[in-house]
Amino acid sequence: MTDSPTSAAVSTAVRTAVVTGASSGIGAATARTLAGLGFHVVCAARRTDRVEALAAEIGGTAVTCDVTDADSVAALAAVVGERLDVLVNNAGGAYGSTPVAQADADEWRRMYDVNVIGLVQVTRALLPALLRAEDGAGVICNVGSTAGRIAYEGGGGYTAAKHGTQVVTETLRLELWDQPVRVCEVAPGMVRTDEFALVRFDGDAEKAASVYAGVAEPLVAEDVADAIGWMVTRPRHVNIDELVIRPRAQAAQHKVHRVLD
């Protein structure tokens, strides 16, 4: 079992949001954006020092949470308590880039575990609280990817997992059709963050940098956070089913405008 939560139950006096994977990148940026929009943000991630620093910065609550661990998710739900307005299922990631013929089964399992099972576990645990959101305006925003819309060479394990994220999102929306909660997905394309590509290429900085080579302006985490902030603050009858967001330089997954020396 992973570490237990680091803060006591949050107050329900203000609108509350949970962001998973809040220790860096899109998750951390989304936590900041939602705090700026007036939410009390529960910042959940595995790295305690990071979520504590972030929560201190934005006046939120830090919870040490591994979304793939059921006990850890139950502890997150205990901190959230009775009511929740917004859940951003952001925890996810890509591990490895081998072709299908050389697939590492452990890497593929890890990707399915965090991008699909983790998201499902957190959603299941927090759904009762979301159904009690202020004014029936609860909303779940799953962070998918353009990798959940297309296939590309060397991306098989990640694209399969992110297609899973997309299909789980759609299924959940169908299943909750008569409930006072919305189910959305944001699907970003090329976003330059400190860790995504580095983790994917197992710490190989050169390989990670090559993803963005010659692209003057890839998206940054704040661009996606801005989109999520908009999606989750629409009037309660408005469900943004999916929002695909790419940099201008990426017309499609393989069609990227690069200016190389």
Task: List residues binding ligand 8X3 (CB under 6 A).
Answer: 145-147, 155, 189-190
Question: Is 158 labeled as catalytic in the residue annotation?
Answer: yes
| Residue 138 or 148 having the CB closest to ligand 8X3 | 148
In terms of C-beta distances under 8 Å and separation of at least 24 residues, what long-range contacts does 146-151 make, across chains too?
146/187, 146/188, 146/189, 146/244, 146/246, 146/253, 147/94, 147/253, 148/187, 149/187, 149/244, 150/252, 150/253
The span from the CA of 145 to the CA of 93, in Å, is 10
| Residue 23 or 159 having the CB closest to ligand 8X3 | 159
Whole-number minimum distance, CB 250 to ligand 8X3, in Å?
Answer: 8
Whether residue 91 contacts residue 114, with contact meaning beta carbons closer than 8 Å, is answered with: yes
Whether residue 77 contacts residue 127, with contact meaning beta carbons closer than 8 Å, is answered with: no
Whole-number minimum distance, CB 1 to ligand 8X3, in Å?
Answer: 29
| Residue 30 or 64 having the CB closest to ligand 8X3 | 30
Whole-number minimum distance, CB 206 to ligand 8X3, in Å?
Answer: 17
Whole-number minimum distance, CB 88 to ligand 8X3, in Å?
Answer: 15
Whole-number minimum distance, CB 147 to ligand 8X3, in Å?
Answer: 3
- Active-site choice (95, 112, 152, 158): 158
- Give the residue closest to ligand 8X3 by C-beta: 145
Whether residue 74 contacts residue 121, with contact meaning beta carbons closer than 8 Å, is answered with: no
| Residue 89 or 146 having the CB closest to ligand 8X3 | 146
Task: Write down the number of H helices and E strands in the chain.
Answer: 9, 11
The span from the CA of 195 to the CA of 227, in Å, is 20
| Residue 26 or 130 having the CB closest to ligand 8X3 | 26
Instruction: Write out the two tokens for 107.
Output: 């890497």
Report, as residue numbers or ranges, the catalytic residues: 158
